[in-house]
Amino acid sequence: MKEITLQTSFSVFDAKDALPADVLELMDQAISIRKKAYAPYSKFRVGAALMLDNGKTVLGSNQENAAYPSGLCAERVAVFQSGAIYPEAKILKMAISAASDTNTTSAPIPPCGACRQSIAEYEFKQDHDIEIYFMGETGKVYKSDSLKNLLPFTFDKNFL
C-alpha cells in the first residue's frame, strides 16, 4: 500500500470589504441575487455571480421545488445560464454568498458536491481555472484559485 497526501490552499479575506474592487462588485451582485432566491422549503438562500472574459456578468440564485430534487443550486443556475447565453466565453471568477432565513451564517460556505462537479466541467471545457470566492452572510471570504482545490479528484470526459 502506498499513501498519498493532497494539499489545497485558500486565500482568506477577513471581510468582504477586503476583496479586490472587481471581486467586491461581483460579491455584491451575488449577495443581491441571493436575496431573490426561491427557497421556501430550506430557507437557505444562495447567490452566485460569474465574471466572464467577454466582460459580461451572469447571475444565479437557488431555485427550490416541492418535488425534491427538482430544484437547482445558485452555482449551477449561473454556470448553465452562462453556457447557454455565452457558450464561447470563459468563466474567470465566481462569487458565492449563502445565508439562512433562520440563523446567521458567518462561516464561508463552499459549493455542494453537485455544483463542484458542474464547475469542474466548465474548467475542463474552457481549459482555464476559475477563481472561486465564497462566504456566508457575513464574515470571512475564502478564495480558491481553481475548482481543483475544492474537488481534487475530478471526474471528466477522459474517463468515458
Domain count, the chain: 1
139 part of a folded domain:
yes
Asked if residue 1 is part of any domain, the answer here is no
* 37: in domain: yes
The pairing of strands 44-52 and 57-61 is antiparallel
Domain span at residue 35? 20-152
Whether 6 is in a domain gets the answer no
pTM comes to 0.95
Q: Give me the pLDDT at residue 17, please.
A: 97
Average pLDDT, the chain: 96
Does 133 fall in a domain? yes
At 54-94, the pLDDT tens digits run 999 999 999 999 998 899 999 999 999 999 999 999 999 99
Predicted confidence at residue 68, as pLDDT, reads 83
> Does residue 9 form part of some domain?
no
Q: What pLDDT is attached to residue 157?
A: 85
For residue 110, being part of any structural domain is answered with yes
- Note whether residue 2 is domain-resident: no
What CATH number does residue 140 fall under?
3.40.140.10
Q: What is the pLDDT of residue 76?
A: 98
Which residues, given as ranges, of the chain have pLDDT below 50?
Answer: none
Which member of 75, 88, 121, 137 is catalytic?
75
Question: Is 75 a residue of the active site?
Answer: yes
Cα 125 to Cα 140: distance, rounded to the nearest angstrom = 30
